[in-house]
A = this chain, B = another copy of it.
Amino acid sequence: MTKQQHGAAGSAGSEPPRRVTLRDVAQAAGVSHQTVSRAINDKGEIDPETRRRVLDAARELRYRPSRFARGLVRPDTITVGLIVQDVVNPFYPELMAGVIEAAENKGWQVVVGSTQNDRDNELALVRSLGRQVDALIGFLDHSDAELAPYVEGVPLVVMDRHQKTSHGVVDIDIETGVRHGIQHLVERGHQKIGMIDCLREDGQSEDGLERRDCFLAVVEELGLPVDQTWIVAGTESVAGGEAGFAELRSKHPDVSAVFAYNDVVAIGAHRAARRLGLDVPKDCAVLGFDGLSIGELLDPPLTTVHIDKRRMGELAIDQVDGLLNGTPVEHALLPTELVVRGST
């Protein structure tokens, strides 16, 4: 048994293939490790000839600088974690684009995690991701209190969170959005408006700022007949929207407009309506929320309360920036805008 494979590519040894370091390159090139550092980092003070020799040796040995060692000495690269519920939910890509772009502009990096709508997964992610980044941005389903043990001091920005929180916040002005949406329906002559809501696993809607609560508040505010205002709830998906619409319509055939929890659900409602042979919007209007661009693909295209998701991502990065610099940042509140297309 040989004492040491002497660094060769010998795959026989049970030794974990130790990392190639500056010193290895130095030895190979017959210089000090410091000189190698100079060559690698393109510092001026070095003989071109030496430089070339070192670089050759480095390539030969397949040397790669350790990001850890580098980060330790020069902690400049900032990494922020982004936790979403489901990358495939069309709400998120645009938001991610905003986050990523804003981050890249600052020279930051973004690592993305997905909870898959699994609450336990969410907690695990907050902890594990949080340990590997300088700050966290998250669409989180847990309360501050529940989150606390997992946060471990990471600067955190919670998205779309209406409850009081000690973290950074980018909130959405849902209330105004809903008001404009419902007002619009009323102006179109609708009085009997139903809502297709989405179930939360733990329905702890403490404050009145969720879509559903806003809806009820606005309905009352506008003096609509509350006894003719119905709410059903399903999963947050196209299928959920379809089921919700069917349920609503079967219980209350005279409903003339539905407000959906969001565009994905609205798309389901839209399809269900068409499938039942209804004319949208004449027989039943459909109003969405989020302003997804895929809403335009429907026929008729979906009227919706639009959110600038890209902007939302930028604001999140702003919040992170504030948290990281100790600059006190106010919670951001994102406005909404009614986009009337064809479905109402």
Using a CB–CB cutoff of 8 Å, the interface residues on chain A facing chain B are: 11, 17, 19, 59, 62-72, 75, 77, 79, 86-88, 90, 92-94, 96-97, 100-101, 104, 107, 109-114, 116, 128-129, 131-133, 152-154, 267, 274, 294, 297-299, 326
The interface residues of chain B lying within 8 Å CB-to-CB of A132 are: 67, 77, 79, 109
- Least Cβ distance of A128 to chain B in Å? 8
Asked whether, in the complex, the Cβ of A96 is within 8 Å of the Cβ of B87, the reply is yes
Q: What residues of B have a CB within 8 angstroms of the CB of A70 in the complex? A: 68
Q: What chain B residues lie within 8 Å of A298 (beta carbons)?
A: 297
In the complex, which residue of chain B has the Cβ closest to the Cβ of A270?
A: B297
Known contacts A65-B131, A77-B132, A110-B112; 19 further A-B pairs (Cβ under 8 A)? A63-B153, A67-B68, A68-B68, A68-B69, A68-B72, A79-B132, A87-B97, A90-B90, A90-B294, A96-B112, A100-B113, A100-B114, A101-B116, A109-B111, A109-B129, A110-B111, A267-B297, A274-B299, A297-B297
Q: Which residue of B lies closest to A65 (CB)?
A: B131
- Residues of chain B within 8 A (CB-CB) of A294 are 90, 294, 297
Query: Which chain B residue has the least Cβ–Cβ distance from A40?
Result: B152
CB-nearest residue of chain B to A61: B153
B111 with A111: CB separation less than 8 A: yes
List 27 contacting pairs A-B, 8 Å CB cutoff, sorted by A: A11-B326, A64-B152, A66-B75, A67-B132, A68-B69, A68-B70, A68-B71, A68-B75, A71-B71, A77-B132, A87-B96, A87-B97, A88-B93, A90-B93, A97-B114, A100-B112, A101-B114, A101-B116, A107-B128, A109-B111, A109-B113, A109-B129, A109-B132, A110-B112, A274-B299, A294-B294, A299-B299
Q: How many copies does the complex hold?
A: 2
Please state if A66 and B62 are interface contacts (CB–CB under 8 Å): no
Set of chain B residues within 8 Å of A131, measured between Cβ atoms:
65, 67
Give the CA-CA distance A299 to B280 in the complex, in Å.
14
Q: List B contacts of A93 (CB < 8 A).
A: 87-88, 90, 92-93
**Of B17, B65, B66, B79, which contacts A111 at CB under 8 A?**
B79
Which residues of B have CB within 8 Å of A11?
326
Complex CA–CA separation, A279 to B297 (angstroms)? 17
- On whether the beta carbons of A88 and B94 are closer than 8 Å, the reply is yes
| List of B residues within 8 angstroms of A77 by Cβ | 132
